[in-house]
Amino acid sequence: MAINLTKGQKIDLRKSSGEQLTNFCVGVNWGAIETIKKGFFGSKKVIEDVDLDLSCIMTDSNGELYDWIYSPEYNAFLQQQNFPLGKLNSKEGALKHSGDDRQGDVGGDDGLDNEIISVDLNKVDPNKVDPNVDKIFFFLNIYLNKGQNFDFSDIPFAKIRMYEGTPSKVINVNSSYDIVTDQTYKGKGALIMGKLYKRNGDWKFDAIGEPTDDKMFLQTISKILDTHAK
């Protein structure tokens, strides 16, 4: 049975068989905001796109940024800010992003995650990457287009889950965050979900569950590096 994550909760990464979990996915599912507006000639459905961005960064034992996965759709802006450009795959292929979904499900929940990061901890190997890499942080941001004004509590069926399997096949859901029903996230537009961290050679997960007012994922990355990565 999936664990409903709460802030500060720590869990072991285990398969349903009890073995160490090294290959899994972190996915987020959400819907577009659909409303019925009444006019002089009757009612019509209005669909407002919802752009959520699931991202992650890897840090070393000194709390320094080693690698990152976030949408390359913002690279023109990132270049102006002299910030590392977005990409969908980490250096050694340990982390792979499915791509940026800028709308959300229309017509109800299709049961599939809109954005997914696939994780292969076997590729976070001291012989292949910096041996000091010992943390991987996952976080979620709302990108508001011009004229938009909503937060996590307004987004239909917004939920994050960690599961054993692949983007196309869920074997066992390990844990999840039900964002839209949790009042902690009301009025907030960013969430530091949690971190994978290495302890005595094994990877474990710490549910940070920290909502923030960040408007861009650059701010969230800075917050992680300043307060959680050391």
- Given a contact cutoff of 8 angstroms between Cβ atoms, the answer to whether 69 and 87 are in contact is yes
**Alpha-carbon torsion (215, 218, 221, 223), positive or negative:** negative
**Alpha-carbon torsion (176, 101, 108, 110), positive or negative:** negative
pLDDT at site 129: 60
80 three-class SS: helix
Host domain of residue 87: 3-227
- Given a contact cutoff of 8 angstroms between Cβ atoms, the answer to whether 38 and 228 are in contact is no
Q: Percent of the chain at pLDDT above 70?
A: 95
pLDDT at site 203: 87
Q: Percent of the chain at pLDDT above 90?
A: 69
CATH assignment at residue 68: 2.60.60.30
* CA distances from residue 202 to 19, 134, 199, 207 in whole angstroms, order as listed: 12, 10, 5, 17
Rounded Cα–Cα distance for residues 204 and 161 (Å): 16
Residue 78 has pLDDT above 80, yes or no: yes
Which phi and psi (to 5°) does residue 88 adopt? -105, -5
Residue 12 has pLDDT above 90, yes or no: no
**Alpha-carbon torsion (102, 65, 220, 173), positive or negative:** positive
The tally of domains found in the chain comes to 1
Among 60-69, 138-147, 173-182, the range scoring the smallest mean pLDDT is: 173-182
Residue 64 has pLDDT above 60, yes or no: yes
Rounded Cα–Cα distance for residues 181 and 199 (Å): 32
pLDDT at site 91: 86
**Alpha-carbon torsion (200, 28, 212, 93), positive or negative:** positive
Binned at pLDDT 50, 70 and 90, residue 135 comes out as: very high
Average pLDDT over residues 93-108: 96
pLDDT at site 130: 64
- Given a contact cutoff of 8 angstroms between Cβ atoms, the answer to whether 24 and 11 are in contact is no
pLDDT at site 128: 62
pLDDT tens figures, 184-229: 899 999 999 999 998 887 889 999 999 999 999 999 999 999 999 9
When the pLDDT of each residue in the chain is averaged and rounded to a whole number, the result is 91
Rounded Cα–Cα distance for residues 85 and 141 (Å): 17
**Residue 144: count of CB within 10 angstroms of its CB:** 15
Among 37-46, 158-167, 204-213, the range scoring the smallest mean pLDDT is: 37-46
Token pair for 192: 């530091």
Average pLDDT over residues 3-12: 76
The model's pTM:
0.93
Strand order in the sheet with 51-60: 10-12, 202-212, 190-199, 133-143, 51-60, 65-69
Token pair for 197: 């961290």
